[in-house]
Structures are given as structure tokens and as C-alpha cells.
Structure 1
Amino acid sequence: MKATWNSLRQTRTLQQLSKEIWSPLITPTMSIFIWRLITNKIPVDEKLQEKGFQLASKCTCCDHTESLRHLFIDGTGISRVWEYFAKKLNMNLPRTDNIVLLLNYWRISALGANHIRMILPMLILWFGWLERNDVKHRNKKFNPERIIWKVHQHIVTISKTKIAKGLNWKGDRHFAKSIGLDIGSSYKPKLKIVKWTKPEAGWIKINTDGASKGNPGVAGAGGIARNEEGAVIFAFYETLGEAKTRLQRFLACLKHFKSAKLKVFHESGSRSMQTALFISSRNQPQHTGQ
């Protein structure tokens, strides 16, 4: 039963990863390689031996047999690369010998699609594979620092060419700064001129506004009351809890003047707020406006 559950879990994870690997932040060649890797189609020595090939096997960075796990996860050389980037991102690496689960761990920690935390592990795996090939076929010495440098260079390139934007770095701008990148905020404020008109003589105008962190989410609202001279009479605010109760609680915070014999003109950017205030106080001498 446990084996069946683990198999189903890995199948689901594989399906999710298969969508994430086709990212504009890496090249199609890299994406194809990652797809082959997570579907167990990379011809490392151990894989070739399983298929009946008679060959001696030796890791390119130590005396261990070359397997997917050793080459890409816990080998002497590649493990230093994982530890370097995990430290940069203040992450704890998972204890797993499975590449699919390792990638999924990074995917879950990412804040959105094409996030740097999803791109980084794929770059580590790709440049780790290139390093292995250089050692095996070009007689180079395995160098973890070279992998780290190549990952850095790719990240710098996609950032300076605007392929990677601020949103791809959400929550990890400190890492960008540590490698010399200035990732500006993706938020661009919109300026709007608002004209305030005084109420008629004998009236009080109350301007209100509110906002919530998420939808639904924790909300707050407040307002300010002025007379026909524009002088402030009072101001108020209230934390409203979840947004779904915003109107009811907001009306509750206005109760201290609703019951008074005041001529009130309520002005708000929210039509729903105006409607609720009008209906709940239809017997009061009150107007609403935009």
C-alpha cells in the first residue's frame, strides 16, 4: 500500500513538474534535458549497465559509481553547488535521493510560475551535466565553482535582457543583490487627481475608504468628516477582520453619528458601501455621492 501511494504521489508530482520545466527563463535545450532527466532517460553509467552494457563506472568527481543520484544530488562536487545556492536563498535542502522530489521541493517554495527558485535547480542540473561531460570527454577536472559561475552568468543574462523581471524574484531580491543585480520593484503607482468639493451650508461631508490584504483577507477602513468650511470635525478608523464582514463592521463604526440628528453627506469610491449605508440609514437625513 505504501509503495502504491508513493508511486501515485510521484506521478502527480511529475505531471506538475512537466508543466513548469518549459519556462521562458531557460533554453529549450535545457527544458528537454530536464524532461529526459525526470523521466529517467539520461544515459549515466549505472543506467547503461542496467541495459546490459559491460563497462567500468567511475564518478567524474570521486571514485563512486556514476548514478543519477550521485551525479546530480549527493556527489562530492554537486552537493557543494546545492549547498551554496540553498544558503544564498536561506533554504534547508530536503533529504531525498529522488530528483523529481528534489525539484518539487524547490517548486513548492517558489512564489509563482517561472520564479527564480524553480529556475535555479534546473540550471544546477543542466550545468552539472555539462561539467560531467567536460570531465568525461575533454579531460577536465570537475570544478563546482565553474558550475556556480555558469548558473550566475545565465541568471545575470536573463535579468539584464529583461527576460526575468522583478516578479520572478519575489521574496528573493536579496539573492539578486548578492550577485550584483539591481532588481527594481515591478509596482508602478498610478497617479490620479482628486478634487474635494465642500458640502452645502449646514451639512457634514464624510469621506471614507478601505482596503483588504487579499480577497478575502484582513481589512481596514476609515474616514474623515468636514463641515461646509472644510474644517475637520473628526476622523476614525477600524480594523475589520476578514473582508467578507467589511460592510457590516464598517457601518458599525459609523453608528456614533448615524443615530444623531445630523445632516450627513457620505462620499466614497465604493458603490456597495454607499448603497449599504443608504439602506441601513434611509430614515436619517443623509445623501451619498461619488
Structure 2
Amino acid sequence: MAVGAHRATFGRESKIRSILEANGGDVYKEVGTVEEELFIHRVKNFPVKEVWSKSIPQNIQALCWKVFLEKVEYSLGCSKPLQPKLSKVVSKKWKGYVEISKSSSYVEIRVWNEVAHSFEKKERKVEWKPPGLNKVKLNFDGSSVGIPGLAGIGGVIRDSSSKVLSMHSGPLGEGDSLKAELLALLKGLKLSKQADLKNLEIEGDSKIVISWTNSRGNAPWIYKHPLREIVSLAKELNASFTWIRRSANGIADSLAKQGVHKQQLFWALL
């Protein structure tokens, strides 16, 4: 799986392990640039035909993709998570194919072997935690099915007792994942103001966007205007920003993916 995506986009083998880990909750282990974050979103959200290199055998593609999404039948006798064991299976299949066809290099075999063993470390799962007393928490997320492509936003606001106060989901039109993340945050703040919700703890799984809220000078100029609005609203609503792992942002992530396919914004104030 990752070999094709890796070869088509970047020249660094370490990216393969980061991409595979992206689906497990350890999503932004070492991500620190716009390029890297866009790449992870690309592999996470793109359909198979946009990810795979045509030189990889179809059966290898299918098995890799199922391993990546954890959609292989559990009747194989493997316990969760499936990736560690199945990655080794894929590694052996890929190695055998290369030896027979002699159409690939030793580097690709070595990379797959590294991938197979990279999951042996215990995955770090993080759960969502409620905000402090007298505070509310906004979780936001953006989703894009291309670079650029159709994009959507989503967000949910909960109180210190974990009660849902508000949730929203809607389309953005065309844009990349960073634009979607940024506008998802902005929409969440605007709806919070409209609902008269203050003292916000804001969480998102985009390290880049969260860092921009604390250091506007690092953002590309095309994002300066929405970023100024975000900073202004954050001051008005007494909001703070925290980066979280994807595993703790599940509801917002689901709402953002649904938003891609909606015709208009859905907003429920409970």
C-alpha cells in the first residue's frame, strides 16, 4: 500500500510508517510541515485509485488497503490491532512477488519489512476528556477528498458533564484539508458566539492549524484573513487551543466527513 503512495509523492521511506500509523491514533507523530499534513490527509481520505501505483499487483493492493482500514475479517484468528500480524503477511507476499518478477528493488522489500515491524510498539490510544468546570469544549475537524477536492467541516460542543450542547456539519465546496480544518475552527467559533457559549476549550487534531492560532506569522498569506477572525473571536469568547490525537476527536471527524456530501450546513443546538 504505502510503497505506491510513497513512490508517487515523496522520496523518504520514513513516511510509510507515519502514514500507516495515521489510521491508528498516533496520527501526527512527527508531522511538522504543511506538506506532510496534506500528504497524511491525502492517504487517509483518497479512494484507492488515487493512492496506488499501477505497478503494484492488484491482490497486494487490496490486502494492504484492508490492513490499513482494519477491515479484514477477524476470523483469521488475529486479535486487534490487526496491522502488526497482517503487515508481516503482506511483507512476505510482496517479497515473494518481487523475487518472482524481479521488477522492483531491494529497497522496497526492506521498507515493507520495516513497516511490518513498526506496529509492534503498543499504539497509544487517547480518549476524549470533558472540559473543566464552568467551561465548554469545542472539538472541530475538516475533511477533504482531494488536494484540492470536495471538503467538509464538522464540530461538536460539550459541557463538563459530557452533555452535547451543539453539533454542526456542512460542505465547503472545493479545498484542501488545511483549508477545511481552518474554516471548521472558524465556523465552530462563530456558532459558539451565536449560541452565547463562552469559556471555550478548543481541540483539533491538526497540529498545523493549532500552531497557527498561537503564531499567526507562520501561516501562508492565503489563510491570514480567516486566522485573524479566529484570533479575534477566541479573545471575545475566552477560548484556548489544544492539539489532540485523532482518536480523541472521533465525533468531529465523523461530522466533517458527512459534511463533504451535504448540500448545506446542518446545525443542532441542544
Shorter-chain TM-score range: 0.3 to 0.5
- Give 1 or 2 for the bigger CA radius of gyration: 1
Report the TM-score when normalising by structure 2.
0.36
Report the TM-score when normalising by structure 1.
0.34
Bigger relative contact order, structure 1 or 2 (CA pairs below 8 A, ≥6 apart)? 2
